[in-house]
Chains A and B, each alone.
Chain A
Amino acid sequence: MEVVQQMSPLSMGWCINCHRQTEVNFNDTYYSAYEDYHKEMKDGDRTKVTVEDIGGLECQKCHY
């Protein structure tokens, strides 16, 4: 018989934490709207763009 286990806490903190670390697929043409970040990447001031950087931690991105 299969037993189902909960592998991740599935709490808000768990979601937020991953968004702080996960990089966004910045090569997607959609992200060309983020001109400042592209410039910073080019100049070497920034190595990655995480979900947090594009506003992923804002309340209404999830709670609407």
Chain B
Amino acid sequence: MTVHVDFEPVGRRGQCPTGSTLLNCARELGVDLVNLCGGGGTCGRCVVQIMEGEVSTPTSSEGKFLSSEQLAAGYRLACQTVPLGNCKVRVPPESLTTPQRTQVEGEELPVAVEPPVQTYLVTLDPPSLDDLRADAGRLLEALAQQYGVMVSILDLAVLRELPLRLRGEGWQVRVAVRDEEVVALLPSAVRPLGLAVDLGTTKIAAYLVDLETGRTLAVKGVMNPQIAYGEDVIARLAFAGESPAQAARLQELVVETLNQTAIEMCAEARVAPAHIVEAVVVGNTAMHHLFVGLPVDQLAKAPYVPAVASALDVKARDLGLHFAPGATVHLLPNIAGYVGADHVAMLLATGVTQAEGLVLAIDIGTNTEVCLVNHGTLTSLSCASGPAFEGAHIKHGMRAANGAIERLRLVDDRVEYQTIGGAPPVGLCGSGILDTLAQLYQAGIVDSRGRMGEHPRVRDVQGVREFVLVAEDEWGDGRPAITFTQKDVRELQLAKGAMRTGINVLLEVNGVTSDEINQVIIAGAFGTYIDVASAVAIGMLPRLPLDRFRQVGNAAGMGAKLALISKTKRREAQAIASRVRYIELATAPQFATTFAQAMYLG
């Protein structure tokens, strides 16, 4: 049984199974509705308006996010609403995901190119009645004779194409060798390619690399398509845990996206995905497990144990990736359930593990990983900073897209701001949210306990205080006001408190104080765009001279690239992972008191 659902104004319509929620219908029909909670009815973002047709009655979750006037006007949460027959649904623009600004750039470290896959141009004698050696033996003997390379194994997929390729290429091929195995046969004029991928919870950054020179040929940032099934790691693990089919769906989504991204990057660089002989993928432990197809149940529940922590080599084809037939995907080691290969890659790329003195390295995201390098010893932990800085749970929060306020200052009683793309303001993205809180705190409008006081721009809306950043009538085009509420301050206190608790616990267990820190390295997309002074002002980061902070961009992606082109760096990653001492933050001594104090501003 199906019902016909029509999404307007996007113009997507089609048959959907009876009993599916509008959110699922939207997914089915390729309409990208914002949903941060994965359809749990807790984020209130997937608002749609029912124009025609009967639907299920509102749930109590909807009552929390929608007023009775809105409900009367047909506004509903798509994840809570089931069509009872054919219906027509309007999707307001704010409920659609917008093209995102994805961060792919990062500082590159110079490194000697020493890829795990070497290629050799081999010329063979064609067989004759006097020389009846098999194709495979002929190839391996030629490799040994011409290059002194002793290889014993041919990947089965390579073996299957060997006879045709040798004859097709006139007995001259470029043989790609990894350890003691032939993993690909390339046309003689082709250079071997590598792909480095930072598989983030929200974003995927991919780098197409010439494996011989180490040069990056193309770079691309895309959204992680798994987002349709939950914004954070926990929501996604929960979805995967419900059935093997759902876990497989998440795996396929990422693989499809990587295949597509590889095709697009190769087209841009005028090369072919079939010439990718090696890939390195880094991600947090959850992304890692979902990508490889490992069970995640044990990861989601205390004591949060990964299925595997050491580095992995997997055949790309086994994951569904369409690269060279025998290509390998290398996954850097994980450290613990909530500190994964992306953290290792970040440490590798920033070079902090060799740093002198006391260095703090922070990768800010929904989960923030922090490492303290104390004269060569490494201690890491993960703190659940939450998606507040991605705009979630903030009344007028949004992701970094056009119209998002990314910088904000209070000048006297005026609000001055800058939006992404210079577009009229729509909401606040992470850096704008951070600036707003810092400005309100520094102006004394919000006190150190996070309480919003009196001010001409502060008003009460149904018992909730809010500071008006952009007033209703300001643009004269019916644009709604943009405000910053007391509740927003509380959300940020939790996020900022979690992050600062992580830092303080690391300092505490190392017996050092924050003013001894020589350098703070801030990695990650959000970290790239923030005004460090604002982060210091609210006490998210320790109060240190601003020249001790370094914003390095996507260090995890850079680390993946290093591990792609350098065997030495790959070994170093393994060494780093085993050197890191992991701390489970929630069980740290004095955690509650530290967290309580870290929630104060300033």
- Binding between chains A and B: no
